[in-house]
Structure 1
């Protein structure tokens, strides 16, 4: 049978066929697009965590020479805390303390020596830091203005490096130039005072260790968080000195109360401020005590609140406290004890007083510096006599420390600095 097709029907049929053709063509086009391989995206650059470690080298002060080679540079695995060596800057003598500028563009290292110049001074070296790799470029070195410097810090303003000369019995102010290098000292202050006993009366039982009280021995210098005041622990005179710093002239001016007497023989060594700047935790080397004080950020006045031991009551024997840190969240304080080879863990109470909640074995000998990595996940300990760095995983909720089983070989380590690289 033959079916007649009208013009209208023919036209509609043609349109249907055309639509079907377009649909098939579109499907084929979509398939072609889907089948076209998409090149993989290049991996996004990831920052790395760099750890700098300094310590004693063969060139050092008498009796303190060591096995280190200079400033060792490591990359830290962020999941495990393992340190992998990258390089070592060797053109420096006994960089036993190092610190960085706030922006991590510069690193400053003292040389704990007494023969930098004919005056018998130590020195401070400035480095430019490659923010992508962590490599160091030496800018210059200047006199620390005293023998055997023990500590240095960058003033809160970022305009000066402050240095404590242990055997020189003085502190110095070094200006930072626009390129990060250092100028000659703008001020040098020598401390004086009566001779103190070798040991404190509140020593742990059986402690035969002594601190040098033959004269002034500044052991740390740093500004308070506001930058208004500069404080120095003098372990020889058992005093905390307080100054203001003129940012224009670089001169130190004694505060209204120029110093505070600590327990005779206690040897105040290192201190830490809370973030608010209103509480000062001061670690005394000889009797292994932490002195908790209120700090008046308007006047610089110090008022003692508590003294607590860094070792438990059952500990007997020789001990010398070395370093003190506050966790980033302000909940816990950590301190290292040499000879007893322990780490003290304190919980900070609502009134800012401390409760010793744990004493952890260092797993090495003569631990000095302590430092958190930038994330606060790990705590590292520089063990001078064991020639090794050990690390601990930090429980941020409880403050507890768990040994990572990681040992990093470094000759006579005493100091750390950390930074995250730029992408």
Structure 2
């Protein structure tokens, strides 16, 4: 049996005061959902263990919280800016970096030896893009490369920012330029490599292969997650995960309500291999812990469901296992 944690926009549904819950999973399906004490509307979680989680909430300012299931919030710090959408933990577990979408900034939160949390620095970005949603920077995700270097997807400026962490300070050290109007939302690193990653373009429904050479990072290829065109309403790409062996990249697209299965070549170039239809608005996708590369979770925010897909030689197959949970934004 595996314990999964859920985050979502549920505090506007009386009598809920927390958007945090947990549920058991076996290959026979899901157990009963248990709502937990925790923060309101946790849009992103970082799972440290069964006994410890970190979460962010999209307030003004946003908050970073440390949660012990069964006890609730045991530590809290400001995320500095508004609209906190993502949280990343450094490999050495000394730092948390919160991405503030509305504020266009990232915040550095120190994790104390006693488990306390403290906001120690915030770094804002500048710029804009051609799309109507790109009137200002919009930091959407931070990914650590190692204990002191990270990459930040900025949907508002069509850049992935290179940032360093040292002595409790955030420093903007460079930028990776993405195609104009693409709106980089999330990225995923190639397993076992430090010269290859893939970036989701939320606004133009694309995935970009980005490679690092002697001249730095450059876009080496682009594929569409909506080859037949956008859906009937708003259409935006969302989540991305990579198989443990790096052979396949999976990307969700809201509006078309699909997950694209992209086969990766040795040089990282992608080819669309399969598309499956999911619940409405698949905001988040991720592996079941301990079953990476074998079972994929798809959280459909507007459908109010979490579905499990089996993976066979890279391709997705329906399992029929689905969990009803209002407005899910994270599961794992």
- Give the TM-score normalised by structure 2: 0.92
Match of 2:19 in 1: 70
Would you say the 8 A contact 2:38–2:67 is kept in 1? no
- Residue 298 (structure 2) aligns with: 381
Asked whether the equivalents of residues 230 and 255 of structure 2 are also in contact (C-alpha less than 8 Å), the reply is no
280, 283, 292: which one pairs with 2:197?
Answer: 280
- CA-atom RMSD in angstroms: 2.2
Q: What's 1:113 paired with? A: 59
In the alignment, what sits opposite 1:306? 221
Q: Residue 127 of structure 1 contacts residue 181 of structure 1 at CA under 8 Å; is this kept in 2?
A: no
Match of 1:231 among 128, 139, 151: 151
Q: CA deviation at 1:69?
A: 4.4
Q: Is the 8 A contact 2:178 2:219 kept in 1?
A: no
Give the one of 325, 328, 332 matched to 1:413: 328
Give runs of aligned pairs for residues 11-90 of structure 1, distance below 5 A.
48-58=1-11, 69-77=18-26, 79-80=27-28, 82-90=29-37
1:177 aligns with 2:109: no
Structure 1 position 312, deviation (Å): 2.9
Partner of 2:141 in structure 1?
A: 220
SS at match of 2:42: coil
- Flag structure 2 segments of 5+ consecutive residues without an equivalent: none
Unaligned ranges ≥5, structure 1: 1-47, 61-66, 115-120, 130-134, 199-210, 418-423
Answer 1 or 2: which has greater helix percent.
1
Corresponding position of 1:189 = 123
Write the distance in 2 (CA, Å) between the matches of 1:338 and 1:83: 24
Would the aligned equivalents of 2:154 and 2:161 in 1 still touch at CA under 8 Å? yes
Q: Which has the higher contact order (CA 8 A, sep 6+)?
A: 1
CA–CA distance in structure 2, aligned partners of residues 316 and 218 of structure 1? 26
Structure label with greater radius of gyration: 1
- Distance change >3 Å, CA 175–CA 69, structure 1 → 2: closer
In 2, the alpha carbon distance for the partners of 1:68 and 1:410 equals: 15
Are the equivalent residues in 2 in contact too, given 1:128–1:136 (CA < 8 A)? yes
How many residues align structurally? 327
Shift of 1:311: 2.3
Tell me which residue corresponds to 1:360.
276
3-state SS of 1:85 partner: coil
Query: How many Å separate the matches in 2 of 1:235 and 1:122?
Result: 18
Distance 1:314 1:245, change over 3 A: closer
**Alpha-carbon distance in structure 1 between the residues aligned to 2:163 and 2:94:** 16
Match of 1:166 among 77, 101, 125: 101
Match of 1:253 in 2: 171
The alpha carbon displacement at 1:390 in A equals: 1.2
Q: Report the alpha carbon displacement of residue 68 of structure 1 after superposing the two structures with TM.
A: 8.7
Q: Which has the higher strand share?
A: 2
Q: 1:155 aligns with which of 90, 94, 98?
A: 90
Residues 323, 369 of structure 1: 8 Å contact kept: yes
